[in-house]
Amino acid sequence: MNLPVWLTRIPAFRLRQGVAGSALVALDRFEIAATAERMRVDRNGSVVSMLAIELPPGANNAQDLGFLAGLLRDRLRLTDTAGMLSDGRVAVLLPDTPEEGAWKVASDICESYPVGEARPNCEVHVYPDKPRSSTPNETGVGAGSGANRVTGPTPAARSGAASYDRVFARRTPWWKRAADLAGASLGLVVAGPVILAAAAAVRITSPGPAIYAQEREGLGGKRFKIYKLRTMQVGADALKDGLREHSVQDGPAFKMNSDPRVTPLGNILRKTSIDELPQLWNVLRGDMSLVGPRPLPVDESQGCEPWQRRRLLVTPGITCTWQVRGRNLVTFDEWVRMDLQYVQERSPLTDLKLIAQTAPAVVFAKGPR
């Protein structure tokens, strides 16, 4: 059982008063520490592990929290930071500690509980994440998922969990979700006839479905299917690797002038961005927002450097700073820096400005899409 929400809102000094001798910091301070550790790792190429601890079922009062805090105080180093997560779990940042070391801490904590009593559930998140493995472990989950789970004193019963990115992903503010629902609903009503006409034209001019669905990485690295009007021949994804050397975009992203996979009608749909209109459905579903970093295909997103994956801290969008200011004209590093600037400066005014700048950017855009 998770801690009640009110516990996560207690300032650090009050929490320490209620839990004698503990060193649990409040949510805001823990997030600052986690961000600082992530930036340190990005600079020096080291590693940081985070141990997330969920109290045993029924253990949700200050006394139970105090017992766990006492165990952490006796076990942790001065360089480690223990605090609260937004979901009520206790978390520990372990700098310069690989996954095995974090599991040793988890095992020590679990074994310190009295015999016969329920023990906490533990997850280990490592940054940067390990490369994903196509070979499943004994539970059927890729061994390189970036997080594993254990209940009890040994990590024998592990299962895949959220990545490090997902733990610190930022919830969509209420004002932004309200704007998304209103804008996407109105957009689908207004653009509905255009989408239907374009879909019919796609079916008439080339064999295959009118709607193209592709898996992308969204908030916190969570995968979802993005919907677009199909602008390429069927099976185009299988030809991508063979065309990689012709990409005009550096980094993991793929952009190509005169892409031979694009149909004649597809060229028109792309230049007018009509092919993007079905993504309004993604916005309604909550997979995307009207404004946010553009979601990359899974293979391209997985190819990003660790610091570049900070763009996954917010919900991806239909339009973004890169779309209106640097589309096809900047390096991938510059593209990501625009995204990270948006992550830091996200506000109603910023979103309104980007939405207003989108139409002119589409009309005067040059180069591949």
Mean pLDDT of the chain: 83
Nearest-angstrom CA–CA distance, 230 and 54: 45
Q: What is the pLDDT of residue 141?
A: 30
Nearest-angstrom CA–CA distance, 43 and 62: 38
Residue-wise pLDDT for 131-183, tens only, equals: 333 322 333 333 333 455 554 444 433 333 346 778 888 889 999 999 999 99
Predicted TM-score (pTM) of the model is 0.78
Let me know if residue 368 belongs to a domain.
no
User: End of a domain among 167, 194, 227?
Assistant: 167
Q: What is the pLDDT of residue 160?
A: 35
- The whole-number average pLDDT for the span 250-277 is 93
Q: Are 284 and 336 in contact (CB under 8 A)?
A: no
Structure tokens at 197: 């006409």
Question: Could you tell me which residues are beta bridge partners of residue 82?
Answer: 24, 92
Q: What is the pLDDT of residue 5?
A: 45
Q: What is the pLDDT of residue 49?
A: 93
CATH of the domain at 77: 3.30.70
User: End of a domain among 167, 183, 198?
Assistant: 167
Residue 296: CA atoms inside 13 Å, Cβ hemisphere, count? Answer: 23
Same domain as 31, residue 155: yes
What confidence category does residue 277 fall into, taking pLDDT thresholds of 50, 70 and 90? very high
User: End of a domain among 167, 198, 220?
Assistant: 167
Higher-confidence residue: 29 or 144? 29
Same domain as 284, residue 207: yes
- The whole-number average pLDDT for the span 196-223 is 96
Residue 363's Cβ-count burial label (10 Å; 0-12, 13-18, 19+) is exposed
- The whole-number average pLDDT for the span 108-127 is 88
Same domain as 233, residue 89: no
Same domain as 187, residue 121: no
Taking CA atoms, 310 is separated from 19, 53, 95, in Å, by 34, 24, 19
Let me know if residue 369 belongs to a domain.
no
Which of 184, 228, 225 is CA-nearest to residue 202?
A: 228
Which of 86, 89, 73 is CA-nearest to residue 20?
A: 73
Let me know if residue 138 belongs to a domain.
yes
Q: What is the pLDDT of residue 58?
A: 72
Taking CA atoms, 76 is separated from 69, 91, 105, 145, in Å, by 10, 12, 8, 25
Same domain as 193, residue 147: no
Q: What is the pLDDT of residue 23?
A: 67
Write out the residue range of the structural domain in which residue 83 sits: 5-167
Domains of the chain: total: 2
Least confident of 29-43, 52-66, 138-152, 342-356: 138-152
Same domain as 188, residue 142: no
The runs of H, that is alpha helices, within 76-148 are 99-111
Least confident of 3-17, 32-46, 197-211, 276-290: 3-17
